Amino acid sequence: MMNEAPLHVVTGAFGYTGRALTERLLSDGVRVRTLTNSPLRAHPFGDRVEVHPLALGDAERLTASLRGADVLFNTYWVRFNHRLFNFEQAVANTKALFSAAQGAGVRRVVHVSVLRADEADDLGYYRGKHALEAALRASGLSHAIVRPAVLFGRGDILINNIAWTLRRMPFAGVFGDGRYGVRPLHVDEMAEVMIDAAGRAENVMIDAVGPERFQYPQLLTALAEILGLRRRLVRVPKRVGWLVGRALGPFIGDVILTWEEILALTRGLLDCDSPATGAIRLTDWAREHRDTLGVRYAGEIPRRIHRSAAYEAL
C-alpha cells in the first residue's frame, strides 16, 4: 500500500511551537494534519500539511478530523482573558479535544502545558493548565505532558519583546526585587522533546527547559550586552510595571504583559531545578540573531486578529 506513513495531528501547525514541530515531523517523513483556527494563515509547508478547521464546538467533526491519527500534538491555548477569548473557553475546548481524541482512537496525546502548572491556582492561566493536566490524566489516554517555561527562536514573543524594549528605552525595568529565575528553551528543541515524548510508552510529564538559567536582571543585562547596548537596570514595583505596560498597549495595538504574567515571573514559576532538555543557549542564539532580535515588536493580539498572515509578518 502507498503512503502509509503514520499520521500525526498538530493543533496550530502555522503558529509558533506548532510550526517548529511540523517542520521536524515533516523532515522525519510522517504525515501531518493540522487542526487550526487559521486555515488561511501563510505558512511554508505548501501542500505537505493537510488542513482541517479546529472545530472545537462540533464534537462529531472534531472526532472525524482526528480519526486515523497516531499522535495528537496539542499546542492550542489562549494567553489571557480578552473580549474575544478566555481561559474558561480554552479549558472547555481542550477537554472537548481530548474527548474527541479518545473517540477517534488516537494512540498518544502530547499536550503542551506550562512549567509548574500545579503551583498557582489563583492565576487563571495556571488554574486552566492545571485543570487540563488533571483532565488528561483522568482520561485514560496514553499521554505526555510537556511543560515549557519560556520558548525562544524565530517568532517568539517574550524574549523578542524584551529585546525590543531594550532597543528603545534608556533603562530596563526589573519588576520587584529581581530575585527570580528564567529557564528559556529553544523552540526547535521543544519540538524535539514533544516528538521524543510521543514515542515513549508510559505516561510522562517533562519540564521543557534550556541549559541556561538566568536571574531576571541577568537576562536583561545579557541581552543588552549582546545587542551592544548599555542599559541601566531600574527596579520598578510590579504594579507600576504593569500599569506602564497597560498604558503603552493601545499605542502598540497589543496586550504587552498581563498582571498574571508578571506575578508568574516574579514568583519564580519560570524557573526550576530540572535537568535541561535542550542544549541551545539563549545567549548563543541571541548573538547569532542580534541584527534582527527585537527590531520589530511581536504582537499577540495581531496574531489573533489577522488570521491569514504568518506570525513573523505581524
Ligand X SMILES: NC(=O)c1ccc[n+]([C@@H]2O[C@H](COP(=O)([O-])OP(=O)(O)OC[C@H]3O[C@@H](n4cnc5c(N)ncnc54)[C@H](OP(=O)(O)O)[C@@H]3O)[C@@H](O)[C@H]2O)c1
258 contributes a contact to ligand X by CB under 6 A: no
Among 87, 126, 133, 148, binds ligand X (CB under 6 A): 148
Residue 301: Cβ within 10 Å count:
18
Question: Which of the stretches 8-16, 171-179, 224-232, 234-242 binds ligand X when contact is defined by CB under 6 A?
Answer: 8-16
- Spatial distance between the Cα atoms of 111 and 65, rounded to a whole number of angstroms: 17
Closer residue to ligand X (CB): 84 or 234: 84
What is each CA distance from 48 to 1, 22, 28, 202, 252, in whole angstroms? 19, 10, 13, 30, 35
Question: Which of the stretches 13-21, 61-69, 131-139, 241-249 binds ligand X when contact is defined by CB under 6 A?
Answer: 13-21
Among 15, 124, 176, 241, binds ligand X (CB under 6 A): 15
304 contributes a contact to ligand X by CB under 6 A: yes
Question: Which of the stretches 130-138, 146-154, 193-201, 248-256 binds ligand X when contact is defined by CB under 6 A?
Answer: 146-154
> Measured at CB, which residue is nearest to ligand X?
12
CA neighbor of 141 nearest in space, from 104, 98, 112:
98
CA neighbor of 195 nearest in space, from 54, 76, 33, 26:
26
What is each CA distance from 73 to 83, 165, 178, 311, in whole angstroms? 27, 33, 35, 20
294 contributes a contact to ligand X by CB under 6 A: no
- Spatial distance between the Cα atoms of 264 and 126, rounded to a whole number of angstroms: 9
256 contributes a contact to ligand X by CB under 6 A: no
Cell of 112: 503542551
Among 32, 69, 114, 282, binds ligand X (CB under 6 A): 114
Closer residue to ligand X (CB): 152 or 242: 152
Cell of 104: 477517534
Among 7, 8, 9, 16, binds ligand X (CB under 6 A): 16
Cell of 149: 517555561
Report H helices in 253-309: 259-266, 282-288, 300-305
Residues near ligand X (CB under 6 A), total: 22
Is the separation of the CB atoms in 181 and 212 below 8 Å? no
- Spatial distance between the Cα atoms of 124 and 113, rounded to a whole number of angstroms: 13
Q: Which x/- pattern over 30-69 shows residues binding ligand X (rule: CB under 6 A)? A: ------xxx--x----------------------------
- Spatial distance between the Cα atoms of 47 and 31, rounded to a whole number of angstroms: 11
86 contributes a contact to ligand X by CB under 6 A: no
Closer residue to ligand X (CB): 112 or 256: 112
Footprint on this chain of ligand X (rule: CB under 6 A): 12, 14-18, 36-38, 41, 75-78, 85, 112, 114, 148, 150-151, 158, 304
